[in-house]
Structure 1
């Protein structure tokens, strides 16, 4: 399994609720820059948080890659989701190459758990940072972090 984890692009500071915050113009540019790193990758799934900024990020990536399938929206990718539950849910996709689009602190904690087996070693992830992990199965401490790309 190859797993890419993308933090949403820069979002507005204010909205009625956190879930309703939208990407800024700069955030859209950040996302397109990160999406370019995925060109030619054999993605099978794009899975995203239901929050507006993650949905916008996932849709920008989908369009820029010419990805035919719709974005899969799941409730287990919100900022405060449990990284252990995310790994459990990824079991369903273990045979495929997957892009997750989510938020901090989840993305950093998820990478730390997947690579180090600990929630105490979170990976710093800026807006639109893209991490690539590999493993046979999505298990805590069993995945290898191939690279992290931060937008410039």
Structure 2
């Protein structure tokens, strides 16, 4: 299994609700640069947070890659989601891209790599992490690379 975890691009600082914050122009540029690392990768699905900035990020990646499958919106990828629950929801196999937020992305990478969340992976806006392993279980994946735009 290969898992990519992408934090959304830079977003507006304010909106009526946090979930409604949209990407800035810089955020869009950051996402396109990060998407370039996924060119040629055999993605099976893209799972994204329902927040606007994550949806916009996932759509930009899908368009940049020419990915034909629909994006799947999942409620367990929001900033306040429990990383342990998120791991329990991951597909058992395949090549999956998750589009989400801090602090979840940093905690999720730490949990998948180390088996705990005590060492969250630093993830800037539009940072992309690549993990690999047989099963998406706590402590079972290897962090291969992190790209920061």
Query: What are the residue-to-residue correspondences of 1:1-152 with 2, within 5 Å?
Result: 1-90=1-90, 93-151=91-149
- Displacement of 1:114 in angstroms is 0.5
- The aligned length equals 149
Give TM-score, length-normalised by structure 2.
Answer: 0.99
Q: TM-score, normalised by structure 1?
A: 0.97
Instruction: Please give the alpha-carbon distance, in whole angstroms, between the structure 1 residues aligned to 2:116 and 2:143.
Output: 14
Gaps of 5+ in 2: none
Ranges in structure 1 where 5+ consecutive residues have no aligned partner: none
Q: CA deviation at 1:129?
A: 0.1
Aligned-residue offset at 1:58 = 0.1
Calculate the aligned-residue CA RMSD, in Å.
0.4
